[in-house]
Chains A and B, each alone.
Chain A
Amino acid sequence: MKKYILRSLICLCATVVVFGTGLVPAASSASSLVVAVDTPPRMMNPQGDDSDAGLSYMANFFDGLLQRKGPEGKLAPALAVRWEHPDKLSWKFYLRKGVKFSNGNPFTAADVKFTFERLSNPEVSEFLNTGKTIASIKIIGDYTVVIKTKVPIPWFANNMHQIFIMDKESTESRKPGDVMTRPIGTGAYKLVEWVKGSYIRMTANENYWEGAPSIKNIEVRPIKEPSTRFAALVSGQADIVTGVPVALYAKIKSNPKLQVISRPARRCIFLALGNKTGAPWADLRVRKAMYMAINEKEIIQKIMRGHASPSSQVPDPPTIGYNPDIHRLAYDPAMAKKLLKEAGYAKGFDITLTGPNDRYVQDAQIAEAVARYLAKVGIRVKLDVKPKAIFFPEVTGGKLDFYLIGWFDGTFDMGRTYFKIAHTRDHAHGYGGLNGAAYSNAELDRALEATADIINPEKRRQALMKLNKMAMVDQIVWIPLHYQEDLYAMQKGKGIHFTPRPDRWMVYKEISR
């Protein structure tokens, strides 16, 4: 009896093995694509994660009222065919007709209202800030929505590519856990299966309003370990990988089967410096000296291995407020020493440089280099690098003196950024929430507040450019370092057409083969 059971068990196993091998997918074919990315999705709730890594997944299952297209991230219609801005507080969106959610429900203005109301619920949303600024949402007919904000928000429409519209009926009727794991949207792809820690499989939405996407089946494999991601590409198990570490760049470049794609990233890495009264670094001459003591060219060459470009300001060129007339102060340690002497700090001073060690490309190494450059002009830097989970709470705490951080604004509007990181910390208005060194400059604050209700795009650009110049040239609010570069790699000669986006999102309807 025992033997019989054993024998049948072996038979069963053998059958399953034979059956199972039949299921093994062949290497990706013409209508499919395997992509290894560096960050796994947290959930399938499009409002629950405001990071670009999370939005990158959601952009495939859902649509916003607007979308960002092309290498410059130009704002384009999506679920709204056009929009108007009748007065300082109102935004009017005309919605696309005939669009359906993946469960068959038609897309109407009620879904837009539902989505925007959901934004202010902390249980499900990380877009509280957007949600809380909305005063009212009015529906006119089935396909027109007027959103009124509490205060003028010039960049409101610029943010509409990040707010993905959910289906009111199915989101309300399903259990919260189901909403968190199964997306129902209007997007170019539908989720087939999400096995946590393994893969996300999606299939094309043949009825997509923009036309069915070229690649029918996508498999996304999140692999956090960079060397393993590299191995996945080299062994042919992935067609495209994101987040190629600079250390492996040369290796991939020399491999004839692979191709590397690099594009300037929007993120600027810079040093924030407080200005509390009495501190040596409140003196403009000292700020200038610290700026001039840092050899950015060498940082880019040696630490970033050439994969970065020097920056003279925080916003990147496509951002409203970027000013081409701002130039970096030249690297000049002799001049820096002179300036320090003039300011009365010939013998230098002590300062602590804080920074993350798991957030940006080579972040800890950059901080070390900065410390060494400053030491050469006599400034004694105590280095304090730590994991981002500990570093960022310190930034919001506002008690740091000098720290390394990176920034870019998803709305392409510098105004929002400056309110967050340059304005004096102000609990009543909610300004300066990430001004971690408590930098405070009344003149800058006034100039910034004055831009808040400039709606005319050209006037706004001019005002922000002026403000930017004042911050970077006259006041040296920050010491800018460089813009990062995003590195991707893919299989060569497989006919894959892929142009990376400025926001690092992987939007598969834009890829073809």
Chain B
Amino acid sequence: MATYIAKRLIQGLVVLLGVSMICFIIFRYMGDPVLTMAGKYATFQEREEVRRALGLDKPTYVQYARFIWNAAHGNFGKSYISRVPALGLILERFPATFELATTATLLAFLMGVGLGVLVALKPRAWQNRLIMAGSLGGISMPTFLIGILLIMIFAVYAGVLPPFGRGQTVTIGFWRTGLLTVDGWKHLIMPAVTLATFQLAVLLRLTRAGMREVLTEDYIKTAWAKGLPPLKVIFKHALRNVLIPVVTVAGLQFGEVIAYSIVTETIFQWPGMGNLILTSIFESDQPVVVTYIMLAAFMIISINTIVDILYAILNPKIRYA
């Protein structure tokens, strides 16, 4: 096990190096931060001076080596746009994204599994066919459309939910949370639903497929024959076995939801990392974007590793040598 974890860590480091290198190369073609930083009326010489001050006159590999050296010391550079440390800028936005992603994942998991079971029990009932058709919509409808539709219906026409932002927040230490106020929850509903839709549909279909398979197995028939109460048969005997792959997928998706909530956050002006990153890309704020991508890669790698390790613990038959 120890060798396995060590191996995974080394692999993770290699991936991070690769990701950061690709970022650096792409950034050569993503605009010139010097133009903004020197000001509209700067002369050619003034621009060159700013370029030198930022170290952007050096070849890419020198810039990259310096970035890696500094990053290894915990310094990810200063944002070109706000001129404060990039890592701090991103971490400041982390609570908002984390709360949104967690709520969305929980929502998707509970609804997805619940509906999946329901549908599997009576696959031919018309309500259930409707749910399945809806899930197809959930998979195929783009996030921004769902978001804008929700805003139109619930904020503009009905006027029951606020269209943007986090609402009233409470600060506990460094963590600014919206989960402790009614206003905060009101603001959370629409973005969470928007972000959850895709996952919900995936988990629903996964649960349904698994349940339908398991429900035909002999041990379930035995359980029915023994006269066990239906809830016990369905949840204890059938669902439990279906849940292992569902939990895995939900876990893996969690990392992605954190990293890719860009669209949802932009539509709802949710003050999270995704929102920051989109702005930073438009402004060619290289330090922030590179730091964010490395952070996202780090998160996804860690979640994958943890899931792998959990697998071995949950199912002793799986061995990593």
Contacts and interface: CB of A to CB of B under 8 A. Distances in A.
Nearest to B31: A389
Contacts of B96: 197
A181 B43 contact: no
Interface stretch (A41-49, A321-329, A365-373): A41-49
A195 B167 CA distance: 12
Interface in A169-208: 176-177, 180-181, 195-199
Interface stretch (A93-101, A225-233, A440-448): A225-233
Nearest to A125: B39
A427 interface: yes
A126 B266 contact: no
Contacts of B183: 20-21, 24
Nearest to A45: B83
Interface in B165-182: 165-170, 176, 180-182
A222 B164 CA distance: 10
A129 interface: yes
A332 interface: no
B65 interface: no
B37 A16 contact: no
Nearest to A129: B41
A43 B162 contact: no
A198 B165 contact: yes
Contact of A16 (B167, B181, B276): B181
A227 B151 contact: yes
A470 to B, nearest CB: 23
B39 A237 contact: no
A117 to B, nearest CB: 16
Given A126-B37, A129-B39, A129-B41, A21 B182 contact: yes
Contacts of A473: none
Given A20-B184, A225-B266, A393-B35, A231 B156 contact: yes
A128 B50 contact: yes
A420 interface: yes
A176 B79 CA distance: 13
Contacts of A177: 84-85
A433 B44 contact: yes
A129 B168 contact: no
Nearest to A127: B39
Interface residues of A, number: 63
A440 to B, nearest CB: 16
A196 B92 contact: yes
Interface string B73-103: 0000000011111000100110010000000
Interface residues of B, number: 63
B181 A21 contact: yes
A1 interface: no
B82 A23 contact: no
B269 A235 contact: no
B41 A235 contact: no
Interface stretch (B130-138, B242-250, B278-286): B278-286
A268 to B, nearest CB: 15
Nearest to B269: A223
A23 B162 contact: no
Given A129-B41, A181-B84, A40 B279 contact: yes
A430 interface: yes
B163, B168, B272: most-surrounded residue (chain A CB, <10 A): B163
Contact of B155 (A23, A128, A235, A416): A235
A128 B84 contact: no
Interface string A27-65: 000000000000010110100101100000000000000
B42 interface: yes
A393 B31 contact: yes
Contacts of B162: 235, 237
Contact of B163 (A130, A132, A196, A232): A232
B159 A235 contact: yes
Nearest to A18: B182
A202 B9 CA distance: 47
Interface in B4-50: 29-32, 35-47, 49-50
A235 B181 contact: no
B111 interface: no
A197 B32 contact: no
B112 to A, nearest CB: 25
B181 A228 contact: no
A222 B276 CA distance: 12
A430 B85 contact: no
B24 to A, nearest CB: 16
Contacts of B268: 228
Given A128-B50, A197-B271, A225-B266, A48 B83 contact: yes
B210 to A, nearest CB: 31
Interface string A370-404: 00000000000000000111101100100000000
B2 interface: no
Contacts of A20: 168, 170, 180-184
B156, B162, B164: most-surrounded residue (chain A CB, <10 A): B164
A195 B275 CA distance: 13
Contacts of A50: 39-41
B299 interface: no
Interface of B: 29-32, 35-47, 49-50, 53, 81-85, 89, 92-93, 96, 148, 151-152, 155-156, 159, 162-170, 176, 180-184, 266-272, 275-276, 279, 282-284
10 contacts: A45-B83, A50-B39, A122-B46, A221-B165, A231-B152, A231-B156, A236-B159, A389-B31, A392-B32, A431-B43
Given A126-B36, A221-B164, A223-B164, 20 more contacts: A13-B180, A20-B168, A20-B184, A24-B168, A43-B81, A126-B38, A127-B39, A129-B46, A180-B83, A195-B271, A196-B92, A196-B271, A197-B276, A222-B269, A231-B163, A237-B162, A390-B29, A390-B31, A393-B35, A427-B44
Interface of A: 13, 16-17, 20-21, 23-25, 40, 42-43, 45, 48, 50-51, 122-130, 132, 176-177, 180-181, 195-199, 221-225, 227-228, 231-232, 234-237, 358, 387-390, 392-393, 396, 416, 420, 427, 429-431, 433-434
Which 7 pairs show the lowest CB-CB distances between chains A and B?
A: A430-B43, A197-B271, A20-B181, A389-B31, A231-B163, A126-B39, A129-B41
